[in-house]
Amino acid sequence: MSNKRSAQAPISTNNGLAFGLPRVAGSSTVFRLDRVSKRYADTLALDDITLGFKSGLTTALIGPSGCGKSTLLRMLIGLIEPDAGHVLFHEQTLHAGILADVRKRMGYVIQQGGLFPHLTARENVTLMAQHLGWDRECIEARLAELAELAHFPFDALNRYPLELSGGQNQRVSLMRALMLDPEVLLLDEPLGALDPMIRFDLQEDLKQVFATLGKTVVIVTHDLAEAGFLAQTIALMRAGRLVQVGSLQNMVSKPAEPFVEQFVRAQRGYLDALDDPR
Protein backbone atom coordinates (compact mmCIF):
# COMPACT_ATOMS: atom_id res chain seq x y z
CA MET A 1 0.00 0.00 0.00
CA SER A 2 1.35 3.43 -0.91
CA ASN A 3 1.96 6.09 1.74
CA LYS A 4 1.17 8.82 -0.77
CA ARG A 5 -1.87 10.95 -0.01
CA SER A 6 -4.03 11.97 -2.92
CA ALA A 7 -5.00 15.60 -3.43
CA GLN A 8 -8.57 14.32 -3.48
CA ALA A 9 -8.24 12.76 -0.03
CA PRO A 10 -10.68 14.24 2.49
CA ILE A 11 -9.02 16.93 4.58
CA SER A 12 -11.86 17.61 6.99
CA THR A 13 -13.97 15.67 9.39
CA ASN A 14 -17.25 16.82 10.83
CA ASN A 15 -15.38 18.44 13.70
CA GLY A 16 -13.56 20.64 11.21
CA LEU A 17 -10.13 19.03 11.60
CA ALA A 18 -8.06 17.69 8.75
CA PHE A 19 -7.20 14.02 8.49
CA GLY A 20 -8.79 13.24 11.86
CA LEU A 21 -11.14 10.47 12.88
CA PRO A 22 -13.46 10.64 15.90
CA ARG A 23 -11.94 8.98 18.93
CA VAL A 24 -13.65 7.95 22.14
CA ALA A 25 -11.65 9.15 25.15
CA GLY A 26 -10.67 6.41 27.54
CA SER A 27 -12.25 3.63 25.45
CA SER A 28 -9.04 1.60 25.22
CA THR A 29 -5.48 1.48 26.46
CA VAL A 30 -3.05 2.82 23.85
CA PHE A 31 0.19 2.26 25.76
CA ARG A 32 0.84 -0.21 28.53
CA LEU A 33 4.04 -0.63 30.50
CA ASP A 34 4.27 -4.07 32.06
CA ARG A 35 6.85 -4.29 34.88
CA VAL A 36 9.39 -2.19 32.97
CA SER A 37 12.87 -1.57 34.37
CA LYS A 38 15.90 0.23 32.95
CA ARG A 39 19.37 0.59 34.44
CA TYR A 40 22.31 2.80 33.45
CA ALA A 41 25.43 1.46 35.15
CA ASP A 42 24.68 1.81 38.88
CA THR A 43 21.59 3.99 38.37
CA LEU A 44 18.15 2.40 38.26
CA ALA A 45 16.33 4.80 35.91
CA LEU A 46 13.03 2.87 35.89
CA ASP A 47 12.11 0.43 38.61
CA ASP A 48 9.38 -2.13 37.87
CA ILE A 49 6.94 0.35 36.25
CA THR A 50 3.42 -0.81 35.41
CA LEU A 51 1.22 1.89 33.90
CA GLY A 52 -1.48 2.27 31.25
CA PHE A 53 -2.32 5.27 29.05
CA LYS A 54 -5.95 5.57 27.97
CA SER A 55 -7.08 6.59 24.49
CA GLY A 56 -7.95 10.26 24.02
CA LEU A 57 -6.77 11.35 27.47
CA THR A 58 -3.77 13.40 28.60
CA THR A 59 -1.33 11.95 31.13
CA ALA A 60 1.38 14.09 32.74
CA LEU A 61 4.61 12.50 33.95
CA ILE A 62 6.03 14.61 36.76
CA GLY A 63 8.69 14.44 39.42
CA PRO A 64 12.08 15.84 40.41
CA SER A 65 15.03 15.88 38.01
CA GLY A 66 16.45 12.42 37.39
CA CYS A 67 13.31 10.58 38.47
CA GLY A 68 12.96 8.75 35.13
CA LYS A 69 10.09 10.61 33.47
CA SER A 70 11.93 11.48 30.24
CA THR A 71 13.36 7.95 30.09
CA LEU A 72 9.83 6.58 30.33
CA LEU A 73 8.62 8.89 27.53
CA ARG A 74 11.49 7.89 25.24
CA MET A 75 10.67 4.27 25.91
CA LEU A 76 7.13 4.82 24.65
CA ILE A 77 8.45 5.91 21.25
CA GLY A 78 11.05 3.16 21.15
CA LEU A 79 14.17 5.28 21.53
CA ILE A 80 15.15 3.26 24.61
CA GLU A 81 14.60 -0.47 25.20
CA PRO A 82 13.72 -1.82 28.64
CA ASP A 83 16.13 -4.17 30.41
CA ALA A 84 13.13 -6.02 31.81
CA GLY A 85 9.39 -5.98 31.19
CA HIS A 86 7.44 -4.96 28.10
CA VAL A 87 6.24 -1.77 26.41
CA LEU A 88 3.02 -2.41 24.52
CA PHE A 89 1.24 -0.27 21.92
CA HIS A 90 -2.35 -1.43 21.46
CA GLU A 91 -1.29 -4.65 23.21
CA GLN A 92 1.52 -5.31 20.73
CA THR A 93 5.02 -5.35 22.19
CA LEU A 94 7.22 -2.66 20.69
CA HIS A 95 10.25 -4.09 18.89
CA ALA A 96 12.60 -3.06 16.09
CA GLY A 97 10.55 -4.79 13.41
CA ILE A 98 7.48 -2.58 13.88
CA LEU A 99 8.96 0.68 15.17
CA ALA A 100 9.20 2.43 11.79
CA ASP A 101 5.47 1.98 11.16
CA VAL A 102 4.39 2.62 14.75
CA ARG A 103 6.31 5.90 14.93
CA LYS A 104 4.25 7.26 12.03
CA ARG A 105 1.31 7.05 14.45
CA MET A 106 3.15 9.13 17.07
CA GLY A 107 4.05 12.80 17.20
CA TYR A 108 7.07 13.70 19.33
CA VAL A 109 8.06 17.13 20.67
CA ILE A 110 11.50 17.01 22.27
CA GLN A 111 12.98 19.40 24.79
CA GLN A 112 13.62 22.87 23.32
CA GLY A 113 11.80 21.90 20.13
CA GLY A 114 14.62 20.24 18.21
CA LEU A 115 13.99 22.06 14.93
CA PHE A 116 16.53 21.72 12.11
CA PRO A 117 18.23 25.14 12.00
CA HIS A 118 18.99 24.95 8.25
CA LEU A 119 15.32 24.38 7.36
CA THR A 120 12.55 26.97 7.40
CA ALA A 121 9.52 26.54 9.63
CA ARG A 122 7.57 25.28 6.61
CA GLU A 123 10.29 22.76 5.73
CA ASN A 124 10.55 21.53 9.33
CA VAL A 125 6.81 20.94 9.56
CA THR A 126 6.39 19.23 6.19
CA LEU A 127 9.59 17.16 6.15
CA MET A 128 8.02 13.77 6.91
CA ALA A 129 5.00 14.35 4.67
CA GLN A 130 7.34 15.08 1.77
CA HIS A 131 9.44 12.04 2.63
CA LEU A 132 6.30 9.87 2.54
CA GLY A 133 5.29 11.27 -0.85
CA TRP A 134 2.24 13.38 0.01
CA ASP A 135 1.29 15.57 -2.92
CA ARG A 136 1.75 19.32 -2.69
CA GLU A 137 -1.93 20.26 -2.47
CA CYS A 138 -2.49 17.91 0.45
CA ILE A 139 0.63 19.18 2.26
CA GLU A 140 -0.38 22.81 1.83
CA ALA A 141 -3.89 22.13 3.08
CA ARG A 142 -2.59 20.39 6.18
CA LEU A 143 0.02 23.09 6.79
CA ALA A 144 -2.58 25.87 6.63
CA GLU A 145 -4.81 24.01 9.05
CA LEU A 146 -2.01 23.42 11.54
CA ALA A 147 -0.86 27.05 11.41
CA GLU A 148 -4.37 28.09 12.36
CA LEU A 149 -4.63 25.45 15.07
CA ALA A 150 -1.27 26.42 16.61
CA HIS A 151 -1.87 30.17 16.24
CA PHE A 152 1.25 30.49 14.11
CA PRO A 153 1.39 33.38 11.59
CA PHE A 154 1.27 31.93 8.09
CA ASP A 155 3.62 34.61 6.77
CA ALA A 156 6.33 33.40 9.19
CA LEU A 157 6.49 29.89 7.75
CA ASN A 158 9.39 30.84 5.47
CA ARG A 159 11.57 31.99 8.37
CA TYR A 160 14.34 29.93 9.92
CA PRO A 161 14.28 28.89 13.61
CA LEU A 162 16.84 31.55 14.55
CA GLU A 163 14.48 34.18 13.10
CA LEU A 164 11.60 33.05 15.33
CA SER A 165 10.90 33.59 19.03
CA GLY A 166 11.12 30.72 21.51
CA GLY A 167 7.35 30.46 21.64
CA GLN A 168 7.07 30.43 17.85
CA ASN A 169 9.67 27.66 17.64
CA GLN A 170 7.64 25.56 20.06
CA ARG A 171 4.52 26.13 17.95
CA VAL A 172 6.44 24.94 14.88
CA SER A 173 7.60 21.85 16.82
CA LEU A 174 3.99 21.10 17.75
CA MET A 175 2.87 21.53 14.12
CA ARG A 176 5.64 19.19 12.97
CA ALA A 177 4.55 16.57 15.51
CA LEU A 178 0.94 16.84 14.32
CA MET A 179 1.65 16.92 10.56
CA LEU A 180 0.87 13.23 9.93
CA ASP A 181 -2.20 13.38 12.18
CA PRO A 182 -0.74 10.92 14.69
CA GLU A 183 -2.86 8.99 17.12
CA VAL A 184 -0.48 9.80 19.97
CA LEU A 185 1.31 13.01 20.95
CA LEU A 186 4.40 12.77 23.19
CA LEU A 187 5.87 15.98 24.63
CA ASP A 188 9.09 16.15 26.66
CA GLU A 189 9.01 19.36 28.72
CA PRO A 190 7.83 21.43 25.74
CA LEU A 191 7.46 24.65 27.74
CA GLY A 192 10.36 24.34 30.16
CA ALA A 193 12.70 26.89 28.52
CA LEU A 194 10.12 29.63 27.94
CA ASP A 195 9.54 32.78 29.97
CA PRO A 196 6.39 32.83 32.16
CA MET A 197 4.23 35.01 29.87
CA ILE A 198 4.89 32.91 26.77
CA ARG A 199 4.55 29.72 28.80
CA PHE A 200 1.14 30.81 30.08
CA ASP A 201 -0.11 31.52 26.54
CA LEU A 202 1.18 28.18 25.25
CA GLN A 203 -0.41 26.31 28.14
CA GLU A 204 -3.74 27.80 27.11
CA ASP A 205 -3.16 26.86 23.48
CA LEU A 206 -1.99 23.34 24.27
CA LYS A 207 -5.06 22.69 26.40
CA GLN A 208 -7.27 23.87 23.54
CA VAL A 209 -5.37 21.71 21.02
CA PHE A 210 -5.64 18.62 23.24
CA ALA A 211 -9.36 19.15 23.75
CA THR A 212 -10.02 19.85 20.07
CA LEU A 213 -8.08 16.93 18.62
CA GLY A 214 -8.94 14.34 21.26
CA LYS A 215 -5.60 12.57 20.90
CA THR A 216 -3.79 10.43 23.43
CA VAL A 217 -1.20 12.76 24.97
CA VAL A 218 1.73 12.07 27.30
CA ILE A 219 3.55 15.17 28.55
CA VAL A 220 6.61 15.45 30.79
CA THR A 221 6.80 18.49 33.06
CA HIS A 222 8.35 19.67 36.33
CA ASP A 223 5.39 21.94 37.03
CA LEU A 224 2.55 20.41 39.08
CA ALA A 225 0.14 23.25 38.30
CA GLU A 226 0.84 22.80 34.58
CA ALA A 227 0.26 19.07 34.91
CA GLY A 228 -3.05 19.67 36.68
CA PHE A 229 -4.12 22.22 34.08
CA LEU A 230 -3.33 20.06 31.03
CA ALA A 231 -3.83 16.45 32.14
CA GLN A 232 -6.64 14.25 33.40
CA THR A 233 -4.12 11.87 35.00
CA ILE A 234 -0.83 12.70 36.75
CA ALA A 235 1.86 10.08 37.34
CA LEU A 236 4.29 11.27 40.02
CA MET A 237 7.70 9.59 39.92
CA ARG A 238 10.66 9.44 42.27
CA ALA A 239 13.96 7.59 41.80
CA GLY A 240 12.65 5.54 38.89
CA ARG A 241 9.43 4.36 40.46
CA LEU A 242 5.81 5.44 40.41
CA VAL A 243 4.77 7.03 43.68
CA GLN A 244 1.17 7.98 42.93
CA VAL A 245 -1.10 7.99 39.85
CA GLY A 246 -4.39 9.88 39.71
CA SER A 247 -5.89 13.34 39.55
CA LEU A 248 -4.26 16.43 41.03
CA GLN A 249 -7.12 16.76 43.49
CA ASN A 250 -6.55 13.21 44.72
CA MET A 251 -2.83 13.86 45.05
CA VAL A 252 -3.46 16.96 47.13
CA SER A 253 -6.17 15.48 49.35
CA LYS A 254 -4.96 11.87 49.63
CA PRO A 255 -1.17 11.70 49.24
CA ALA A 256 0.03 8.10 48.97
CA GLU A 257 3.20 8.75 51.00
CA PRO A 258 5.06 11.64 52.67
CA PHE A 259 7.03 12.44 49.50
CA VAL A 260 3.79 13.25 47.66
CA GLU A 261 2.78 15.69 50.37
CA GLN A 262 6.25 17.26 50.31
CA PHE A 263 6.21 17.58 46.51
CA VAL A 264 2.78 19.21 46.55
CA ARG A 265 3.75 21.57 49.38
CA ALA A 266 6.89 22.67 47.51
CA GLN A 267 4.73 23.83 44.58
CA ARG A 268 1.72 24.97 46.57
CA GLY A 269 2.04 28.62 45.56
CA TYR A 270 1.81 27.68 41.92
CA LEU A 271 -1.23 25.51 42.54
CA ASP A 272 -3.21 28.57 43.57
CA ALA A 273 -3.30 29.40 39.87
CA LEU A 274 -5.64 26.45 39.38
CA ASP A 275 -8.33 28.35 41.26
CA ASP A 276 -8.27 30.88 38.43
CA PRO A 277 -10.81 29.65 35.83
CA ARG A 278 -8.63 30.24 32.78
Q: What is the mean pLDDT of residues 60-88?
A: 96
Separation between Cα atoms, residue 37 and residue 49, nearest integer Å: 7
Q: Which one, of 190, 264, 192, 270, lies nearest residue 225 by Cα?
A: 270
Exposure string of 159-171, with b = 16+ CB inside 10 Å and e = fewer, is eebeebebbbbbb
The answer to whether residue 11 sits within a structural domain is no
pLDDT at 168: 93
Q: In terms of residue numbers, what domain contains 199?
A: 29-272
The answer to whether residue 277 sits within a structural domain is no
Mean pLDDT of the chain: 87
- Give the pLDDT band of residue 63 (cuts 50, 70, 90): very high
pLDDT at 195: 80
Question: How would DSSP label each residue in 227-271?
Answer: HHHH-SEEEEEETTEEEEEE-HHHHHHS-SSHHHHHHHHHTHHHH
Q: What is the mean pLDDT of residues 245-272?
A: 87
The answer to whether residue 95 sits within a structural domain is yes
CATH of the domain at 254: 3.40.50.300
Per the structure, the count of domains in the chain is: 1
The answer to whether residue 109 sits within a structural domain is yes
The answer to whether residue 103 sits within a structural domain is yes
The answer to whether residue 22 sits within a structural domain is no
The answer to whether residue 110 sits within a structural domain is yes
Q: What is the mean pLDDT of residues 47-57?
A: 96
Q: What is the pLDDT of residues 11-51, one digit of tens each?
A: 333 333 333 333 445 458 999 999 999 999 999 999 999 99
Contacts of 51 (CB under 8 A, 6+ apart): 32, 33, 235, 242, 245
Q: From the CA atom positions of the chain, what is the Rg in Å?
A: 19
pTM of the model: 0.86
Proportion of the chain above pLDDT 90, given as a percent = 77
The answer to whether residue 126 sits within a structural domain is yes
